[in-house]
Chain A
Amino acid sequence: MLNRKRTDSSKVQELFDMQIQKVIEEAKRINAKYNLFVTINENAPEGFPVAIKDCICTKGLRSSAGSKILHNYVPVFDSTVAARLKKEGASIVGKTSMDEFGFGSFSVNVGVDFKIPKNPWDPNRCTGGSSGGSGAYPAISEHPKFTIAESTGGSISSPANFCGVVGITPTYGLVSRYGLIDYANSLDKIGVMARTVENMAYGLSIVAGHDPKDSTSLNQKPQEYERFCKGGNMKIGVPKEYFGDAVDEKVKKCVWDEIKKMESLGYEYEECSLPHTKWGVPAYYIVAISETSTNLAKFCGLRYGLSSDPEEKGFNEYFSKIRAAGFGAEAKRRVILGTFARMAGYRDAFYLKALKVRTLLIEDYKKAFKKFDVLASPAMPTIAPRFDEIDKMTPIQHYMADILTTPPNLAGIPHISVPCGFVDKMPVGMHLLGNHLQEGKIIQAAFNYERERGEIKYPRL
């Protein structure tokens, strides 16, 4: 499918030759300590190691989306992403931990009987979420070339920021969603995480490009995103609303200092305004839960997943009991609230209103990108919170963690979180946002910044 010339053939060969069993053994040790995998693939073939978020279907390898209702689901087909990776020589070493169906920002909303992943920089803190395992694995191991993650409202940038790795959330529709156990169809985007911008770009080159099996797949040819890993200068906009009161002072300072450093790379920067920013969180949650309440209707204990004896109960009783047993608290909360938001009498006030606010957020960005190539800000408002801090949060406080990630996700614009320093010994992420299909520009900015920043000393197992 991809007709690429390998520029680093010796390096790739070395990775191919690495005994995959050693990688699997290490994954088990990592799991014993940090719970980063839902399933480890004992039968992984030789190839360069990758891990895939549990909500992306892999043939013959359990894909549960971190939910009890799919605890025994073994797909009989590969998602387009998994198929493309295998064709390129990847070996899928495991399925990574996540918030159930992607419902969270800290990977603490795991399904019933699933384990919460811990941050390798400090196991008392969360990994971020919902792609927690995909973000933390490259932080604790140098083996995965990259990992596959998925973002609906910030689920790649959050763990990338909190775990100190790079993560790209591509333009909506650039990567096929065929075989993704979806959360919210108009928001879900499969992306890539890695230690380096180059490896991340390589991963994107493999999975991006049109797929006839996904009706929302954009008509884009595959391309080599690594070619953007080189010099260049551009204009950076710094949205003042992204440095508001909700953002920790130390995080603000850390990110601002690093943005200023980019001047020496030939990047000009200037403050700008995205006036509808603060409506991102409510608009996002209304759209997301409305879509999810219809998406999750298919989980009813019939064709796959959790089931019980159908002869014992009536029609509605059977479905209601299975769903009560199979969904965790946050899944129930979102499905019920989403059903409410779509009910007659409320649909216009909530759902349609939120979709109109989404239009305003998109227009904010379109205006900004007339003047700037890239926008820069913190990715998350704080460093990774401790579990005892998360326990005290109300659902709304939990949702507010997405204040910087929901606007770009609603707008479907590509964005990268790249590690840019430390606050209280925990990683901070710089968010680089680009216009639709301008992945090249944010990859270039992230690559140049990364080279200037230097290497990160990752924690050891």
Chain B
Amino acid sequence: MIDKKTVEHVASLARIYLTEEEIEKFSKDFKDILDAFSSLDRVDTENVKPSFHPIEMKNVMREDKEEKCLSQEEALSNAEQKEDGFFKGPRAV
């Protein structure tokens, strides 16, 4: 089900470069892990609803009211790459 090519493809979707060694190792790991996960096929879940949360949750709404938030200086304080009060990132196009 999962070969080296698949690992490389999924890693690229997850935006993580892998070395040849990692691809080799993960292909083997993933086969073992997915085999173990596939054991769930044996559980009868006919008419069972999925639990996205362990306890029933209701959507929480609040009024669209202005509140105190971080200053620009605070928001930028953890960024090493910044310019003129903006985060600086790689060129998108």
Contact = CB atoms under 8 A, between A and B. Distances in A.
B53 A320 contact: no
A77 B80 CA distance: 18
A429 to B, nearest CB: 22
21 contacts: A172-B55, A186-B54, A187-B54, A279-B39, A279-B40, A285-B37, A302-B79, A303-B78, A315-B91, A320-B15, A320-B17, A332-B26, A333-B26, A336-B26, A353-B41, A357-B43, A359-B50, A360-B45, A360-B48, A395-B33, A396-B33
Contact of B13 (A307, A309, A339): A339
Interface string A215-254: 1101000000000000000000000000000000000000
Nearest to A313: B90
Contacts of B59: 215
A317 B52 contact: no
Given A302-B79, A307-B80, A436-B55, A396 B88 contact: no
B59 to A, nearest CB: 8
Interface of A: 72-74, 76-77, 171-173, 186-187, 212, 215-216, 218, 276, 279, 281-283, 285-286, 293, 297, 300, 302-305, 307, 309-311, 313-321, 323-324, 327, 329, 332-333, 335-337, 339-341, 343, 349-350, 352-360, 362, 394-396, 399, 410-413, 436
B87 A356 contact: no
Contacts of A279: 39-40, 43
B48 A412 contact: no
B49 A356 contact: yes
Interface in B59-80: 59-60, 62, 70, 74-75, 77-80
A319 B15 contact: yes
A350 B32 contact: no
B79 to A, nearest CB: 5
B18 A324 contact: yes
Contact of B50 (A336, A337, A352): A352
Contacts of A353: 40-41, 43, 45
A315 B16 contact: no
Interface residues of B, number: 53
Given A77-B70, A282-B39, A304-B79, A358 B51 contact: yes
A314 B90 contact: yes
* Residue from the set A216, A337, A359 with the largest chain B CB neighbour count within 10 Å: A337
Given A76-B74, A171-B55, A327-B16, A315 B45 contact: no
Given A336-B26, A395-B33, 18 more contacts: A74-B78, A172-B53, A186-B52, A279-B39, A304-B78, A304-B79, A310-B91, A313-B90, A316-B15, A323-B17, A332-B11, A332-B26, A353-B40, A353-B43, A355-B50, A356-B43, A359-B45, A436-B55
Contacts of A72: 78, 80
Q: Which 5 A-B pairs have the closest CB atoms?
A: A412-B54, A355-B50, A304-B78, A356-B45, A318-B90
A305 to B, nearest CB: 7
Contacts of A321: 17
B91 A76 contact: no
B53 to A, nearest CB: 5
Nearest to B69: A77
A139 B26 CA distance: 36
Contacts of B40: 279, 282-283, 286, 350, 353-354, 357
A412 B57 CA distance: 12
A402 B41 CA distance: 20
B51 A359 contact: yes
Nearest to A331: B16
A303 B79 contact: yes
Given A332-B16, A336-B16, A394-B32, A310 B90 contact: yes
B54 A324 contact: no
A300 B15 contact: yes
B88 to A, nearest CB: 6
Nearest to B92: A315
B48 A359 contact: yes
B77 A340 contact: no
B43 A360 contact: yes
Interface in B1-42: 2, 6-7, 10-18, 22, 26, 29-30, 32-34, 36-41
A285 B36 CA distance: 10
Contacts of A340: 2, 6, 10, 30, 34
Contacts of B12: 320
